[in-house]
Amino acid sequence: MTDQLGALTTVFTEFYYWITVVLMFLIHVGFCMYEVGASRYKHHQHTLMKNTMLIPLVTVTWFLFGWWIYWAFPTGPGLAPSIMNESAALITDDSLFSAKWYLPNSDLMAVNLGDHISGVFWAAFLLFSWTAASIVSGAVIERITTFAFGICAIAIGSVFWSIDAAWGWHFDGWMLKILGYHDAYASGVIHAVAGGFALGILMVLGPRIGKFSSSGEPRNIGPRNPWLVTIGLFLIYTGFWGFYAACNIPIFDLGPEYGMEGVTYFTATNIYVTPTTLGGITMNFLMSLSGGLLAGYVIAKGDPFWTYSSGLAGIICASAGNDLYHPIQSLIIAMIGVVIAYKLHYWVERKFKIDDAVGAVAVHGYAGVAGLIICGFVLNGYPSSGYSVGSMWVGTDYAPINPLGMFIGAIIMFGVLGLIPGWIIAKVLHGMGKLRIPREVEIAGLDYNLLEAARDDEKAVSSSTR
């Protein structure tokens, strides 16, 4: 940093991402409040701790291997050559964006005067990882063991979401090149994959005791503290602002980046390094939130839990293309996504006896998948990258955005990297007898011993004041 303009750009970008990380922390605060509010009193404290402990577990593993996976896997490996070194192998060479620099023993993974940016990128992506794991956390409350959830959180937070980000979010990702995949604010990359992963676990984990009658009719176990759920969801909305900002590059000169001789064009870009504006995405964020709330209120007949969740589902559905949509398109797409998510949730619940305690699979998974598919139609023909645009399936250049590619992308996100790994991991944990808490504990309440100890403490305090 020896010239002022370069230093200003670097320090501004460093600070910009740092702010997004702080904002995104609120997503996790919101998830914790939301889950505790949705759980029953006798499970509150364990529910809270389960979600809280994913923070250190995912952080440590993100440091050890999650971040490395993101930089190593854009080529598949073996599916499409990198534009940096023209090899389809794992990117571990000496190139500028190689995973080599992000091994946990690299001197760049620390305070390093030669690199001001990587640490805040690492943190921004880590907060996405927490979100992916936290989405799963809500679906499985009141019956999964903390040990099993920790393993699942690491798997989705530091492995599978990282692979899907490398494939469908990295500027060199094979899904962009072969499929024309476009997912600017992570309808699929975070939400569909985490929703699919949660569904895979739920298929093995089974419902909470009492959720279904002996004839198979579902019973409602509604949120026990709707006010905590409300504040939790408002905090998730708030943190989502940070998430949107974190998915952008705030200032970038696209002229030299695209190889346009003599052209200087400074702009904000999305994660694919194609232009957008913070103003435009702000409008789209608010319009998709509004669309989700409007549709949710109608379809859920004013139920607060579903109305708030629908606001979130609306944003999630529109997120894939919110870098380019018109705000009214964004609102309509959000409304469509909410209707699909709500209807599918109850259909799957009845048909397959899936107990998704907070509607996470619907809000994140189904709305995310719907958003990807819709994006393929609405943005059909847009370049998926600014570097070079060719045709589908070639893999040496970038396919344009198209419906078929986005549909396949949705299957990869929800099914291949979400549902299947979630199901397999849950099966293994179940086989080890580690997945689900004993029936007697679920009935008594995970917090029984804590509550009993608190009562004894109170008795002791009371007796000393007589």
Q: Which residues bind other proteins (CB under 8 A)?
A: 41-42, 57, 60-61, 63-64, 104-115, 145-147, 150-151, 434, 437-441, 443-445, 447-449, 451-452, 454-455, 457-458
- Alpha carbon distance 417, 412 (integer Å): 6
Q: Which is nearer to other proteins, 103 or 273 (CB)?
A: 103
Q: Exposed (0-12), middle (13-18) or buried (19+): which is 453, by Cβ within 10 Å? A: exposed
Which uninterrupted H or E stretch holds 177? helix 174-179
Is residue 250 within a helix (H) or strand (E), and if so which, with residue range?
strand 249-253
Looking at the Cβ atoms of 200 and 445, the one nearer to other proteins is 445
User: Where do runs of H (alpha helix) occur along 39-105?
Assistant: 44-61, 67-72
**By C-beta, is 35 or 447 nearer to other proteins?**
447
Q: Is the dihedral of CA 246, 328, 294, 219 positive or negative?
A: negative
* Distance between CA atoms of residues 409 and 174, nearest Å: 11
Give least dist CB 144 to other proteins, A: 11
* Nearest Cα to Cα of residue 417 among 174, 192, 206, 202: 192
Please state the closest distance from residue 405 (CB atom) to other proteins, in A. 38
d(CA 24, CA 39): 23
| Closest separation in Å from C-beta 12 to other proteins | 20
269 sits in which H/E element: strand 266-269
Q: In this complex, which beta carbon is closest to other proteins, that of residue 115 or of residue 257?
A: 115
What are the backbone dihedrals phi and psi of residue 276, each rounded to the nearest 5 degrees, phi first? -155, -175
Which residue, 143 or 182, is less far from other proteins as judged by CB? 143
Least distance from C-beta 452 to other proteins, angstroms?
5
Min dist CB 36 to other proteins, Å, is 16
Least distance in Å: CB of 278 to other proteins?
A: 31
Q: In DSSP terms, which residues pair with 173 in a beta bridge?
A: none
Report helix angle 193-205 to 118-139, nearest 10: 40
Q: What is the enclosing helix (H) or strand (E) of 149?
A: helix 146-155
Nearest to 410 by CA among 132, 134, 125, 186: 186
| Cβ-based nearer residue to other proteins, 253 or 452 | 452
207 in Cβ contact with 348 (< 8 Å):
no
* C-alpha dihedral, 34 to 37 to 42 to 45, nearest 10°: 40
The single-letter code of the amino acid at 344 is L
- Nearer of residues 262 and 433 to other proteins, judged by Cβ: 433
- Taking the least distance from each CB to other proteins, the nearer of 328 and 454 is 454
Give me the least distance between CB of 87 and other proteins, in Å please.
27
Distance of closest approach, residue 210 Cβ to other proteins, in angstroms: 8
Residue 114 vs 262, nearer CB to other proteins: 114
Query: Nearer to other proteins by C-beta: 146 or 388?
Result: 146
Residue 156 neighbours by CB under 8 Å, 6+ apart: 132, 133, 136, 193, 194, 197, 418, 421, 422
Q: Which residue, 78 or 222, has its beta carbon nearer to other proteins?
A: 222
Cβ-based neighbours of 369, under 8 Å, separated by 6 or more: 187, 188, 192, 195, 410, 413, 414
Neighbour tally for 82: CB within 10 Å: 23
Question: Cis ω on the peptide bond leading into residue 77 (within 30° of 0)?
Answer: yes
Q: Which residues are registered as beta bridge partners of 252?
A: 267
Q: CB of residue 429 vs other proteins: minimum separation in angstroms?
A: 11
Smallest gap from residue 231 Cβ to other proteins (A): 19
Q: Could you tell me the smallest distance in angstroms from the CB atom of residue 132 to other proteins? A: 19
Shortest reach from residue 458's CB to other proteins, in Å? 5
Closer of 102 and 181 to other proteins (Cβ): 102
